[in-house]
Structure 1
Amino acid sequence: MVSHNARFILRKQFAAIQQYPGGKVKVFYHPAKPQKSYLIVAGKMGILLTLFISALPLPLFYFKYYA
C-alpha cells in the first residue's frame, strides 16, 4: 500500500516538471547556491496533502489514547 502511494506521488511530481523537446527541463539556478540548482515548485494540492499527512497522526493519537 505504501509503495503504491509513493509511486502515485512520484508520478504527480514528475508530471509537474516542465519538459521541452530534446529531453530538456526547466531549471532554476542560483549562482550562490549551485547545489540547489534544480527546483520543482510545489503546487497547492501537494502542499495541502503534505499538511494533511503531517497533521493526521495528532488526532489519531488523541482518539486512541484519550477519547
Structure 2
Amino acid sequence: MIVDREHDNHRAIKSVGRCEVVQSFVYLGTLIDSSGSCENEIRRRIQQARVALLKYCVTITSLNLPK
C-alpha cells in the first residue's frame, strides 16, 4: 500500500508490482493519509475515546452497585 501525497507517483508505482495507491490507512494505530495533516487522526482518536467511555458507563450502570 502506498499513500501518494503529491498524486504524481502513479507511473513509478506501476513498475513496483502489486501495490495499491490509497488515500488513507491505519498503521500501528495511527492514521496515515495523503494530506499529511493530523486533523483526521485527532478526530479519530477522540471518537475512539467517546466509544470507550460510553461502553464503560454502560458497564458501570449495569452492575447496579449500592450507593
Normalising by structure 1, report the TM-score.
0.41
More strand by share: 2
- Larger C-alpha radius of gyration, 1 or 2? 2
Normalising by structure 2, report the TM-score.
0.41
Q: Highest relative contact order (Cα 8 Å, sep 6+), 1 or 2?
A: 2
